[in-house]
C-alpha cells in the first residue's frame, strides 16, 4: 500500500477508497516548492544547500560553517516568514565537494573530446562509477584523465569503455 500525503479529510477518504494510506500534512506539495523557489531567488549562496523534503513536508536547509553571515541572515529571514515550513540545520564543518558529486549532464573533458557526464552508479563491491554517453567512450584510452569542463579538476580515469571509476 502507498502512503499519500493529504491536507483535508475528503482527500483522506478518496485515498482510502483507492486502497492507499492517507497521511495528514499541514502544507500542500506546492507550498514547500514555492518556498524552495523563494530561497533560489536569494541567488548563489556559498556553503549552503536546500531542497523540498516530502518526508517532513518542509524545506530542508543546510548551512555550513563558511557560509557568509549576511547570507545566513537572508535565509533566516525567509524562514521567519514561513514558521515551521523550513528546517535549518547548521553543519559544523566546511562544505566539501568530491568527484562523486559530479552530476549527470555536467560537462566533462578528455584529451580533445568534450562530453557530458551520464550518472553516478555503484558496482556490487560498492565502488563509485560515472557512466558516460557511448560516444564519449569511443575516444577513450586507458591512462587518460577525465576533467571537469568548468574548472579542469581531475575526476578520474576510465577503467573500461563506457564505465568511469571515480575516486572516493
Residue corresponding to grid cell 571509476: 165
Domains of the chain: 27-91 (3.30.300.50), 99-165 (2.40.10.10)
Residues 98-114 pLDDT 10s: 544 666 667 777 766 67
Average pLDDT over residues 48-67: 86
Q: Reduced to 3 states, what is the DSSP secondary structure of residue 147? A: strand
| Count of CB atoms situated within 10 Å of the CB of 128 | 17
* pLDDT class of 164 with cuts at 50, 70, 90: very low
- Reply yes or no on whether the pLDDT at 46 is more than 70: yes
Q: What is the pLDDT of residue 168?
A: 43
CB-based burial label for 34 (10 Å; 0-12, 13-18, 19+): middle
Angle formed by the axes of helices 30-40 and 69-81, to 10°? 150
- Separation CA 76–CA 62 (nearest Å): 12
- Reply yes or no on whether the pLDDT at 42 is more than 60: yes
Average pLDDT over residues 71-85: 94
- Separation CA 67–CA 45 (nearest Å): 7
Q: Which has the higher per-residue pLDDT, 43 or 126?
A: 43
The cell numbers describing 127, all together, are 565502488
Average pLDDT over residues 69-87: 94
CB-based burial label for 98 (10 Å; 0-12, 13-18, 19+): exposed
Kind and range of the H or E run holding 99: none
Average pLDDT over residues 142-163: 66
Strands (E), 13-167: 21-24, 48-53, 58-64, 86-91, 107-110, 113-122, 128-132, 146-148, 154-160, 163-165
Q: Which has the higher per-residue pLDDT, 31 or 130?
A: 31
- Separation CA 158–CA 37 (nearest Å): 38
Q: What is the pLDDT of residue 35?
A: 93
Q: Which has the higher per-residue pLDDT, 33 or 146?
A: 33
Contact 30, 45 (CB under 8 A): no
- Reply yes or no on whether the pLDDT at 119 is more than 70: no
Q: What is the pTM of this model?
A: 0.53
Query: How far, in whole angstroms, is CA 3 from its chain's centroid?
Result: 23
Amino acid at each position: 500500500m502507498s502512503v499519500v500525503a493529504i491536507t483535508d479529510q475528503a482527500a483522506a477518504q478518496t485515498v482510502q477508497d483507492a486502497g492507499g494510506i492517507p497521511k495528514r500534512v499541514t502544507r500542500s506539495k506546492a507550498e514547500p516548492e514555492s518556498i524552495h523557489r523563494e530561497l533560489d531567488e536569494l541567488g548563489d549562496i556559498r556553503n549552503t544547500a536546500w531542497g523540498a523534503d516530502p518526508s517532513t513536508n518542509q524545506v530542508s536547509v543546510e548551512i555550513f560553517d563558511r557560509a557568509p553571515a549576511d547570507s545566513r541572515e537572508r535565509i533566516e529571514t525567509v524562514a521567519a516568514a514561513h514558521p515551521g515550513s523550513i528546517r535549518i540545520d547548521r553543519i559544523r564543518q566546511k562544505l566539501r565537494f568530491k568527484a562523486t558529486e559530479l552530476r549527470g549532464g555536467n560537462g566533462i573533458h578528455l584529451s580533445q573530446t568534450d562530453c557530458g557526464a551520464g550518472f553516478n552508479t555503484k558496482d556490487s563491491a560498492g565502488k563509485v562509477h560515472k557512466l558516460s554517453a557511448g560516444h564519449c567512450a569511443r575516444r577513450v584510452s586507458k591512462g587518460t584523465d577525465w576533467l571537469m569542463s568548468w574548472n579542469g579538476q581531475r575526476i578520474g580515469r576510465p577503467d573500461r569503455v563506457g564505465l568511469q571509476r571515480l575516486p572516493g
